[in-house]
Every structure is written in structure tokens, then in C-alpha cells.
Structure 1
Amino acid sequence: MFLTPLCIYLYSLIFRFYHFIIFIEIIFTKIQIILTHRKWEQSKLGEVATLSSSKRIHLSDYVRSGVPFYRGNEISTGGITSDQELFISEEKYREIIENYDIPCEGDLLVTAVGTLGNIWKVDDRRFYYKDGNLIRISNMKFDSDYLLSYFNGGTGKKRLLNSAAGSNQKALTMEKMREIPLLLPIDEDQQKIGALNIELK
């Protein structure tokens, strides 16, 4: 169906208005939480979640097809593979599953080198990931969508990026990330904030 310029313009206005309403709802929810004096717990990321990396995969482990092997690019694009996608064999993937921990649905992966601080929430697809390039956040004692929205927002994003180490080429490290301070509302409010930020995207 061919869309006229007027239709495209109207659709754009509706889309922007929808995002504006969601944004206002996020602000209202946060204000409501503050005004009701609900208790927020202060913790460090390492106290309420596990940070880890992957088993090293060598160049000789790459194959033409098989289980996708994610690096920073795939995480930055939300798990969308590129033309230069890499794979490991089914046999190698089974070996990893049998001997090591792998990302589970709901875990978060953070880009640690290159473009720092991009985050992807793991879904149900099969994949493995590159050590050193990505940091896994798992076993969270809070709603993962809340942490996702926190690290994508102003204060949280700044704290995440400020934890990067190195002078010439900055990189995120598990040691520094474990010290990042967090403010955690009660579970109900975590879910509200996380859900609204997902809808805003």
C-alpha cells in the first residue's frame, strides 16, 4: 500500500505523541514512588548480582555454520547478527554447556570494549559470546528490566561509563562494575519502571 506524505506525517505525529505519553507516565511513576516514601535500598552491583565472563573461544573453534557467536556488535544491535557473523560448532557448544555456565534468558550482556555500556537482555535463542568483549550480569536479586532501564538512563549510564578503566583505550571490568552503586526500589516499583522503559523503546 502506498502511503502519501500526509499519511506518513500523521503517523509520525501519532508515534511521537505515543512516546510522549509513555515518557510522562514514567516521570509520574517515579514521582509517585518518591511522594509515597517507599523505601529504596542502596547496594553495589556486585552485592545483588553475579558478574562473569565466558570460556575463551579460539580462532580454530570458528566454523562456517552452527551456533552463533556474539561479540560487541551483536549485543549493540540487540542480538541481530551482521554479515561478518561467526559460529561455533554444535559439538563445541555442547561441550561448553556440559562443563561451563552459559547465559540464561533474562541475563544481561554489557559491551566492555569498543563502544562501552551497550546492554542486551538475553532471550531464548542459542548463542555463545566472546570473553573480554562482553560482561554477563546474572543471578540478579531484582528485576532485570529495572537494571536495563537504569543503565540506559542518565545517572546509571554515567556511573557505568565512569567505572571504565584505562588511559588510552577505556574498558569496563568486572572488578570496577561490581562497585557501581545502585538504588533499588521495592519489587513492584522496579517492575513498573522497567516495563515503562521497555514500552518507550
Structure 2
Amino acid sequence: MAKVPKLRFPGFTDAWEQDKFAKVLKTHQFRDYLAEPTEKGKYKIIQQGDKPVVGYANGKPFKDFHKVILFGDHTVSLYNPLQPFFVATDGVKILSADGFDGDYLFVTLECYKPKPQGYKRHFTILKSRDVWYTSNKDEQEAIGTFFRQLDDLLSLHRRKLEAVANLKKSLLQKMFPKNGEVVPEVRFPGFTDAWEQRKLGEVADFSKGNGYSKNDLIQDGSPVILYGRLYTQYEIVITEIDTFVERQEKSVLSKGGEVIVPASGETSENIARASVVENKGIILGGDLNIINVNKTIDPVFLVLAISNGSQQKELSKRAQGKSIVHIRNSDLQQVGLLYPTMDEQSAIGTFFRQLDDLLSLHRRKLEHLKSLKKALLQQMFV
């Protein structure tokens, strides 16, 4: 039975062909590839995640851009080369397919690659599968170029997201005083006074959330914040809640402006974080420490102080436990807090909140593009 994808570029109507990947794919020896160095005499080294996984192979760099790199039998990671780079023979394969454009082969493998399955031999699984493909070179080139451009757009937004995240990290280090100092390296114009220091217990009241766990979550109900979401979901200010429960008696409800700190976590470094609950009427679940500051402290500023710098380090040292660490309100009360005037606190809080909004914007764009690519892979392949 003839098959065609649901979505095609105009002008292409031929039925796609079917075969086994084992018959289509070819693997190549690394010694077959040589390349001239770049102007600076260097080659690119492929990276998977943060660690280089491809290095020298007898000093011969790979330069054939019509083939695809597969990271071994026990992985499904693919790499589409754009420039010469060194390859390693251990756990890495170079693939090609007769009659396949390089970019088209890459996106075809992306579409058909096995899902991660522990220590399964993914290349063996891949070779056993049927593959549907177009033998029309023009259609291959159109599809390959389209997804290459989409990948370039994804990479652009990843770089933008990384740039803003690095900017935020750098400015957090510069806009809060270093240990032993009472003024930060970078300040907004017009602020010159030394920062004051108090124990957090002198400028805030403390309480605890109550009840609820992941097992209590339902599709629709009263919004709730569980402590684990502070590690995975929320930024400086919590404005939108996406977890719900059936409200029970003795629930602790937010009044708006509370600072919450997880009472439990996996490491002492991770537990030293905080967020502001912006809205009223949000259920605050168990294992949340709740801080209500007085009029001398801006809640957003306090979140930044707790999550970074000397306060973060001090709070980390107070965390107790081994496999699970804990922070109590009594620990929070003893943390030393350096803070400037309310006007400077507000300026700092507003600035970093805007940076968080920019980070969220880039994340949404990136997720939208990922979803778009996933949908198009399903529509443009059989």
C-alpha cells in the first residue's frame, strides 16, 4: 500500500518507499576521513551535554558533512556535522545512506530513533526497524533544509536563554556585598549608603505550611504550592500555580507577599532558596517555611538575598541531615541579613524580576519551537 506523509511541500506527490534500516544505513571507518585545520589551526570537538565525548582518532579529523554521527550502541544521541572536528573510535559511529541527503538522513534518524531504554543496544534496535522515505532528491533537500533551519532557530533561542541566565548569575554576584563588605560592587545610580545588617528574626515573623503531598493533587481545584515545586518550577515571584487539591480544613492560605523557603531538600545548597507568593488565597503545603517581613524589607529583595551570596551560604551551613536535609524556622531566624534602603531594595527586586520575565519568555519560545518540531516530524514523515 502506497504511503505519503500528511504534510508535504508543494509539487511533491510520489509515494514514499519502504525498507529496513539495516539495508539502508552504512557505517564508516574513522580512518577514511581527513580534513584541513581552520585558520587558527584548530578543529571542533563534538560535545554531548557539558562534557566532550569525541576526541582524537589517530589524529584524523572527520569532515564529511553528508553523514551523521551516532553516539554508540547504548545511546540515541545524534550529531549532524557542519565543520571539521575530531572523532573517537570508542562508542561512536559514522552513518550514511545511499541516495540520502545528509540533512535529510539526520532528520529521518531523529524521527525513527528508539526512545531511551536503559542499557539496550539502540543501534541494533534502529537497524531492525522499517523506514519510509522519499527517494526524490529535491524533496529530501527541502525537508532537510527546513529542519536544519528549525534547529538553527532552536539553537539561537537556547543561546539567548543561556546568555540571560549567565547575565543574571553574574549580576547577582556583583549586586550583593561580598563576605566582609557592606556595599556591593555594582549599584544603581544615586545609592551610596552602606548596607545594614540584622538577624532575619529581627525583621520578620515565621510560620509553617500545612498538609498536602503529590498524592493529593487533582486536575482542577484549589491552587496549592508544594515545596518540591520550588526546585523545579518557580522563580523569584510565584504568579501562576499549576497544581491543585481539594481544599481541607486547617489549610494555610497566603495573604500575598509571603516569602516561602522549602523545609526539606536533597542537598544543603539546593535547600537555600526562596520565592515570593504574590497572590492571596493560595494553599501553602507542608514542608514550607513561611516568612512575613516587616516594612523595612522588600519580599523580592529577601528572596534574592536568601537564594544568593553570603546569606545563601550561611543558610546552607545551617541545613541538617544526610540523605534528606532540613531547614527550620529557628535556623532562618538566625541568618544574618545585609540590606540597603527600601528604595534600593525595590530597585534591585524590580530589576531581577524583569530578568526572570525575560528568562521565562525565552523558555516559552524554546518550548514552543520544540513542540512545533515534534508535531512537524509526525506530520512530515510516514
Indicate whether the TM-score tops 0.5: yes
Corresponding residue of 2:319:
164
Within 1, Cα distance between the matches of 2:217 and 2:280? 19
Within 2, Cα distance between the matches of 1:46 and 1:126? 25
1:108/1:138 contact within 8 Å kept: yes
1:142/1:190 contact within 8 Å kept: yes
Is the aligned partner of 1:105 residue 2:256? Answer: yes
Aligned length: 187
Matches within 5 A, 1:70-109: 70-76=225-231, 77-78=233-234, 80-81=241-242, 87-89=245-247, 92=248, 102-109=253-260
Matches within 5 A, 1:155-194: 155-166=310-321, 169-194=324-349
Task: Decide which structure has greater helix share.
Answer: 1
Residue 13 of structure 1 deviates from its aligned partner by 4.4
Residue 12 of structure 1 deviates from its aligned partner by 4.2
2:254/2:279 contact within 8 Å kept: no
Corresponding residue of 2:151:
5
Residue 194 of structure 1 deviates from its aligned partner by 1.9
- Percentage identity across paired residues of the two chains: 19
Amino acid in structure 2 at the alignment position of 1:114: G
Amino acid in structure 1 at the alignment position of 2:150: T
Within 2, Cα distance between the matches of 1:58 and 1:24? 37
Residue 122 of structure 1 deviates from its aligned partner by 0.5
Change (3 A) 1:5 1:181: same
Unaligned 5+ segments in structure 1 are none
Residue 114 of structure 1 deviates from its aligned partner by 2.4
Within 2, Cα distance between the matches of 1:37 and 1:10? 39
TM superposition score normalised by structure 1: 0.72
Residue 168 of structure 1 deviates from its aligned partner by 6.0
Amino acid in structure 2 at the alignment position of 1:104: K
TM superposition score normalised by structure 2: 0.41
RMSD of Structure 2 on Structure 1 (CA): 3.6
Task: Decide which structure has greater strand share.
Answer: 2
Residue 69 of structure 1 deviates from its aligned partner by 3.6
Within 2, Cα distance between the matches of 1:25 and 1:71? 29
1:51/1:138 contact within 8 Å kept: yes
Within 2, Cα distance between the matches of 1:57 and 1:9? 42
Corresponding residue of 1:145:
300
Amino acid in structure 2 at the alignment position of 1:178: Q
Unaligned 5+ segments in structure 2 are 1-145, 177-183, 357-382
